[in-house]
Amino acid sequence: MQNENLVQISFFNQLMLVHPRKKQNERSEASVQVSEYFVNAEGTGDKVNLSDLLGTVEKTSGASNKTKKQLRNLQSSKETLELPLNKQQTEKIQRGIAYEKTTAEVSCWKNIILQNQKAEQMVFPLNQESSGPKRVEQVVAGWKVQTPLEQEIFRLLHGSRQPVNDPVLTPVEEQSLKAMSLEEAKIRRAELQKARALQSYYEAKAKREKKIKSKKYHKVQNKAKRKDFLKQFDEMVKTNPEGALEELKKMELSRMEERMSLKHQNSGKWAKSKAIMAKYDDSARKAMQEQLQMNKDLTQKMVVPSDDEHESIEEGLETVPDFVNDPETVIDPVNPWMRGQLTHEEPEVSCVTAEEVQTAEEENEEEEIIGEFERKRKLRQADEEDLIPTEEEHVVEVSDKEEEEDEEEDVSEFNTLFRLMRSEKTREGSNQTRGGLNTAGEEDEEGLLSEGQIRVRSIEDLEVLDEVVEPRAIEEPSAPQTAAAEATSEPPHKKKREINLKEVLTKEAKAVRLPFLPTVVDEEERDEQISIIKEAFAGDDVISDFIKDKSRQEAAGRPAVVDLTLPGWGEWGGVGLKPPRWKRKRFRIKTAPPPPRQDQKLPDVIISEKRTASVASHQVSQLPFPFQNTAQFESSIRTPIGSTWNTQTVVKNMTKPKVVTKLGAIIEPMVKEDFIKSKTTSAGGKGAAIMLGENRRAKEGTKRSKKREKMTTARSNS
Amino acid sequence: MLVFGFWTTKICNTRNCFNKIVLIALFSLTFHCNGFASIVCPDLKKILTKFDSPSRWFMLGKKCKVPAGARERLKEAIAISEAMSEHAQKQAARYDLLLPEDAGFLEGDEDEDTNTISQADIADAVDITSGSKYFNLHLSQFGPYRLDYSRTGRNLLVGGKKGHVACIDWQTKDLKCEMNVMETVNDVKWLHTEAMFAVAQKRWLYIYDSKGVELHCVKKFNDVLRMQFLPYHFLLATASATGFLQYLDVSIGKEVAAICTKMGRLDVMAQNPHNAVIHLGHPNGTVSLWSPNQKESLVKMLCHRGAVRSLVGKDKIGDTALYMVTSGLDRKLKVYDIRAFKPLHSCFLPAGASCLSLSQRGLLSAATGEIVQVYQNVLGSNPVSKPYMAHRLRGQIWGLAYCPFEDVLGIGHGEGFTSMIVPGAGEPNFDALDTNPYRSHKQRQEWEVKALLEKVQPELIGLDPGQLSKVDQASFEQRHKEQVEALGFDPLAKDKFKPKTKKKGRSSAGAIEKRKRKVAHEDQRDEIRQSVQERTEREKELKEKSNEKKLGNKSTLDRFRK
């Protein structure tokens, strides 16, 4: 049964494949002359030239004009065809293309490689599952068939199309459901054929009609269409109100479009020409009017019949409809005199429109004025928030009233008024600040005023200003103090480099109070002791020794002057003769002084300037790659990594190896699918369904079948 | 769970015991079973050595700014290192929570000086075990005594001048060994473990094991007067009467350096635990600093008018200062900031201090004749006025040493040895991987191996212990110069700004100049901008402060005030 079904499907598909539907592009009449004996043996042995064939093309009616023309051009053209490119050039082009292709192909690796380079740690093999408990589905899904036995079993399992997990229908069942009987297929095919034929007929017809150039025909047809549509619409209102609403919306849209465009406004080229002719030509006039009528029709608002009937009636009652003012419809359209007003109407209309425009402009102006008022009012309000209630506000209010009274007043006038007001206000404000300052008893008024930025308007403001001002007043007395302090702290003239060592050492030391002294030390005894000590160390002056030592060290540190003078060279030589000054000056080489000693400012300290080379062998002497200066590198290694200085986790983190490989695992090279797939899965996050082994193949299979289905459906539709 | 050594006693309002004394001897309360200690403490090594201002301690140097036109790789490298160091700092700060112990202290009543409280009173007031830490060993025969505590604080080594050497587990009072070397003993020192100690005898330096068996007689080291052991370098530094400063690497048994100081008899010696530099005091009032890598002194400073009698170095990590305390024949006690080589303050001790010792938490003990005085807050900038504690002994004092991780001061004197309770002296939290007072035999072995593996080479000793983490500037410059010569250009030079050529007349000479001027002196401009910003902020703050002051006492009538 299954096999039968399968056979049927394939048969159906083949049918579809054998008779692909050609699209009928043009309408052609079958020729009568075609006979089965058309090909004769005349001229056998002769070579058929292209020109011969072309000649016949001219005569055949089946060939399109376009091709004929092309052929004719080809014949008449004298140019020879271009030579094909030489080998080198073609190869170059090919190489270029190949290069581009390969770069595109290779560059997709770039990201992942960069990422891996940057990664602090790489764990191989790459696509490892995270350790820890997993869901059963994951475990099952990840399992792959490896041994031949397993493979065979799975082939059997999948071959039988038995469900692995239990869906509602087995794939076989689904297929059987999908499949149709032969008769059904045939009927369906016939239906489709018929539909296609009908469609093609309809298309052909439409095309033919489209080609008809008669305007009248189209007009009539359009009218008919519109009528039809209206009828349909009326029906639709009853049957399908939602659809009608949609249609209504469309109409509204078209109305809007019409209102926007200048179409049907008698403003086009055609209309203008007609307007010239309108005086004399009746039909032209009519045409123009028709166009206007069209415009009117199109711009007419759709009346929603059901909902707002009353309102519309009321509106109709209240506002006199337009046509009341219109002249009565002229009986004889040809007689211009009878039309009377119509001819007058035009200027009238124009004048009315001008008025309207004016009014509209006025309205706009008013709106603008109002907007401006509001803007300015807001501004003023913002100002007034700071203000204490003064006369100004009254003034403002009065002016407001005035404004309300004569809104039609000229804007410029108002503006000038407003400006005046503003200036007044500011002046008053400044006056007030002055007054406020005076009351506060501020001494330097001018300075404040010159600042200008702070404008005092209220008591609070004044207080704030007070605060701002006061620090200066306080600072002023403090300034001399600080100056005095500076004077005291700063020595009158800079101390010499040699600070008196004796002073340093005989600095006052605080005596310590003892709870119980070992032996009562009297003052006399103490003095005695001191004198004894002095006696004992009379010979060795500790301090001067130290100073000497230090100066010796400093002298040793200073670079020696290299004397290259050769006495007697270019002058008299001999015992007791000194080389001349210029020579000494020129040939004594002074090296640059060394950097200042570390102990320069420490009189009682000698710090050795010798560089210890012992650490150098352990130090880094070359900057590692990414670092540009030593400070960067030093800061990067400033954090110790040992467990002595860090917590256990930090040590582990800091000393983790760059590459970790799993013992015994085969590390395979990275596959393109790996990182691309990982991206997609991470994006989609699907794949919940369980698939046992060989899933890739299965997936591919499903894809293929889906593709086939798509193809068939497309064909059936066309 | 085992409960060892430390515990708390809080005695408040014990008026019936003492006259108006409120004594709080807060010894550290710690319940340690071995497991706990080893779980918690491994991560605390660094934190442990610091005592104050934890927030500053964790800061590891300055952050590096990413330069404006840096390469991508450089940016990444800097970002990674910054992130890592920040992470490390944060973690360290987090683990600081696991240091629950506080130091003890002694508090007197009103109008009562703590220095009048006698040791017997304290021993009575505290619990029995703590009380038992105050004891005297009457050894009047072979005195006066020098002493040394092992790094873990468990073992005590005493050496009498007349040859008596003994090592004791002082808490259990278990005598490990006792002998008489039948020679003058100048100094005794524990080596890296409790298994070995060095004794500087009349002629040579001897090394014994904890059973008292003579292991070595180092004849290269003669006439040694003072010794210091540098635990992380495994170096035994000795100062001899002949003016030689010698370094013995005890891990390989080799003499690392022998320096002739040319300063005469060297009988005052101390080490700076921060950088393992040896300080020597001389009769001419100077103190010189030495490293094994340099034949001349690193620094020489004039401290006293008379000879230097005693000095002690102290590192105080977490603060910027490192301290040295000296006392001289001019009877002054001076505290130096050893980084700046500047005296912080000096005080006059009526009798002069013959011995000095600094505890882990910065208590200074000074031996003035027969009295031991303990000073608090010596290492601040303000000078001390009176001692925190005092204790009178019989006989001349020769040795002073604080016991690590205990509130105990050991005093070696002419009449033997005295263990004195000084609340607040010891560091309450210890690092079990470094110095674990409760370590087992196995743990000690493990530690020894690790310590040997992590041994710091003697070449790294210098004034700046962070020298290793710096680029060797001299050779770097030399190499760079060579490279520049070879290449013909400076690869590290910042390339000059080259304005792009633009079209439509925007690349005129003037426009180019303008564009150039936009980027000119970028670095300087940055600096200036920063400084200006700082200044404005400061000014703003000042202003706000003054404003606040104003608003605080402001009334409505104030505006009429002139």
In a domain, B499, yes or no: no
What count of residues does chain A have? Answer: 718
How close is the nearest chain B Cα to the Cα of A133, in Å?
28
In a domain, B469, yes or no: no
pLDDT, one tens digit per residue, over B355-371 is 889 888 888 899 988 89
Report how many domains make up chain B: 2
Question: What pLDDT is attached to residue A291?
Answer: 86
Can you tell me the distance from the alpha carbon of B159 to that of B399, in angstroms, rounded to the nearest whole number? 10
pLDDT, one tens digit per residue, over B413-436 is 999 999 999 998 888 888 888 889
What's the token pair of residue B16?
């019936």
∠ CA(B387), CA(B392), CA(B394), 5° rounding? 150
Lowest-pLDDT range, A47-56, A618-627, B512-521?
A47-56
Question: What pLDDT is attached to residue A44?
Answer: 56
Cβ distance of B73 and A510 shorter than 8 Å: no
Can you tell me the distance from the alpha carbon of B545 to that of A89, in angstroms, rounded to the nearest whole number? 82
Q: Among partner residues A505, A537, A647, which is closest to B95 by beta-carbon distance?
A: A647
* Pairing state between β A122-124 and B397-402: unpaired
A474, pLDDT greater than 80: no
- State which residues form the domain around B405: 114-452
CB pairs under 8 A between A and B: 249
Question: In chain A, which residue's Cα lies nearest the Cα of B78?
Answer: A636
User: Got the DSSP string for A532-548?
Assistant: HHHHHTSS--HHHHHHH
A439, pLDDT greater than 50: no
Cβ distance of A635 and B64 shorter than 8 Å: yes
Can you tell me the distance from the alpha carbon of A430 to that of A453, in angstroms, rounded to the nearest whole number? 11
Can you tell me the distance from the alpha carbon of B16 to that of A167, in angstroms, rounded to the nearest whole number? 91
Question: What pLDDT is attached to residue A367?
Answer: 59
Considering the domain architecture, whether residues B86 and B157 belong to the same structural domain is answered as no
Cβ distance of A650 and B88 shorter than 8 Å: yes
Question: What pLDDT is attached to residue A354?
Answer: 43
Instruction: Tell me how crowded residue B134 is: count the other CB atoms within 10 A of its CB.
Output: 19
What is the CATH classification number for the domain harbouring B251? 2.130.10.10
Considering the domain architecture, whether residues B255 and B380 belong to the same structural domain is answered as yes
Considering the domain architecture, whether residues B87 and B150 belong to the same structural domain is answered as no
Lowest-pLDDT range, A233-242, A693-702, B167-176?
A693-702
Q: What percent of chain A has pLDDT above 70?
A: 52
> B339 and chain A: CB distance < 8 Å anywhere?
no
**Binding-face residues of B in 113-172 toward A, CB within 8 A:** 113, 115-116
Q: What is the ipTM of this complex?
A: 0.77
How close is the nearest chain A Cα to the Cα of B433, in Å?
9
A463 contacts on B by Cβ (under 8 Å) = 559
In a domain, B344, yes or no: yes
In a domain, B134, yes or no: yes
Cβ distance of A635 and B62 shorter than 8 Å: yes
B370 contacts on A by Cβ (under 8 Å) = 518
Question: What pLDDT is attached to residue A533?
Answer: 66
Taking the CA atoms of B187, B190, B194 and B197 in sequence, report the sign of the dihedral they define.
negative
> B291 and chain A: CB distance < 8 Å anywhere?
yes
Question: What pLDDT is attached to residue A370?
Answer: 59
Question: What pLDDT is attached to residue A293?
Answer: 87
Question: What pLDDT is attached to residue A397?
Answer: 45
Cβ distance of A648 and B42 shorter than 8 Å: yes
Cβ distance of B46 and A617 shorter than 8 Å: no
Nearest residue to B435 via CA among B49, B146, B1: B49
Cβ distance of B91 and A650 shorter than 8 Å: yes
DSSP state, B420? E
In a domain, B162, yes or no: yes
DSSP state, B25? B
Q: Among partner residues B284, B385, B471, which is closest to A621 by beta-carbon distance?
A: B471
Cβ distance of B63 and A635 shorter than 8 Å: yes
pTM of the model: 0.56
How close is the nearest chain A Cα to the Cα of B116, in Å?
7
pLDDT, one tens digit per residue, over A522-542 is 455 666 676 666 656 555 678
Chain B contact probe: residue of A519, A650, A654, A655 with most B CBs at under 10 A: A650
pLDDT, one tens digit per residue, over B338-348 is 888 888 888 88
A270, pLDDT greater than 60: yes
How close is the nearest chain B Cα to the Cα of A549, in Å?
10
How close is the nearest chain A Cα to the Cα of B513, in Å?
28
In a domain, B271, yes or no: yes
Considering the domain architecture, whether residues B234 and B326 belong to the same structural domain is answered as yes
> B460 and chain A: CB distance < 8 Å anywhere?
yes
Q: Among partner residues A619, A629, A636, which is closest to B81 by beta-carbon distance?
A: A636
In a domain, B122, yes or no: yes
Considering the domain architecture, whether residues B94 and B146 belong to the same structural domain is answered as no
How close is the nearest chain A Cα to the Cα of B312, in Å?
18
Considering the domain architecture, whether residues B89 and B118 belong to the same structural domain is answered as no
Cβ distance of B88 and A647 shorter than 8 Å: yes
> A718 and chain B: CB distance < 8 Å anywhere?
no
What's the token pair of residue A283?
């039909």
The last residue of one of the domains, among B98, B129, B159, is B98
The terminus-to-terminus CA distance of chain B in angstroms comes to: 76
Chain B contact probe: residue of A647, A651, A655 with most B CBs at under 10 A: A647
What are the φ/ψ torsions at residue A676 (nearest 5 degrees)?
-70, -45
**What is the pLDDT averaged over residues A90-115?**
92
Q: Report the mean per-residue pLDDT for chain A.
A: 68
The last residue of one of the domains, among B399, B434, B452, is B452
B73 contacts on A by Cβ (under 8 Å) = 625-626
Considering the domain architecture, whether residues B118 and B94 belong to the same structural domain is answered as no
A520 contacts on B by Cβ (under 8 Å) = none
How close is the nearest chain B Cα to the Cα of A386, in Å?
20
Question: In chain B, which residue's Cα lies nearest the Cα of A506?
Answer: B305
Can you tell me the distance from the alpha carbon of B37 to that of A504, in angstroms, rounded to the nearest whole number? 49
The terminus-to-terminus CA distance of chain A in angstroms comes to: 31
B150, pLDDT greater than 60: yes
Question: In chain A, which residue's Cα lies nearest the Cα of B289?
Answer: A607
Question: What pLDDT is attached to residue A327?
Answer: 42
Considering the domain architecture, whether residues B68 and B206 belong to the same structural domain is answered as no
User: Got the DSSP string for B323-348?
Assistant: EEEEEETT-EEEEEETTTTEEEEEEE
B76 contacts on A by Cβ (under 8 Å) = 118, 626
Cβ distance of B95 and A533 shorter than 8 Å: no
Decide which of A507 and B185 is more confident: B185
In a domain, B169, yes or no: yes
B454, pLDDT greater than 60: yes
User: Got the DSSP string for A421-460?
Assistant: HHHHHHHHHHHHHHHHHHHHT-S-HHHHHHH-S----SHH
Paired residues of B236 in beta bridges:
B229, B248
How close is the nearest chain B Cα to the Cα of A691, in Å?
42
pLDDT, one tens digit per residue, over A290-299 is 888 888 888 8
Can you tell me the distance from the alpha carbon of B428 to that of B436, in angstroms, rounded to the nearest whole number? 12
Instruction: Tell me how crowded residue A506 is: count the other CB atoms within 10 A of its CB.
Output: 12
Considering the domain architecture, whether residues B66 and B163 belong to the same structural domain is answered as no
Give the confidence band of A488 by pLDDT, cuts at 50, 70, 90: very low
Considering the domain architecture, whether residues B380 and B413 belong to the same structural domain is answered as yes
Considering the domain architecture, whether residues B56 and B146 belong to the same structural domain is answered as no
Can you tell me the distance from the alpha carbon of A239 to that of B335, in angstroms, rounded to the nearest whole number? 107
**What is the pLDDT averaged over residues B247-267?**
93
Instruction: Tell me how crowded residue A350 is: count the other CB atoms within 10 A of its CB.
Output: 10
B293 contacts on A by Cβ (under 8 Å) = 612, 614-615
How close is the nearest chain A Cα to the Cα of B247, in Å?
16
A607 contacts on B by Cβ (under 8 Å) = 298-299, 341
Question: In chain A, which residue's Cα lies nearest the Cα of B45?
Answer: A644
Chain A contact probe: residue of B300, B377, B455, B481 with most A CBs at under 10 A: B300
The last residue of one of the domains, among B399, B428, B452, is B452
**Binding-face residues of A in 566-625 toward B, CB within 8 A:** 599, 602, 604-608, 610-612, 614-623, 625
Can you tell me the distance from the alpha carbon of B83 to that of B94, in angstroms, rounded to the nearest whole number? 16
Question: Which range is most confident: A324-333, A429-438, A485-494, B221-230?
Answer: B221-230
Q: Among partner residues B303, B370, B550, which is closest to A518 by beta-carbon distance?
A: B370
Considering the domain architecture, whether residues B121 and B62 belong to the same structural domain is answered as no
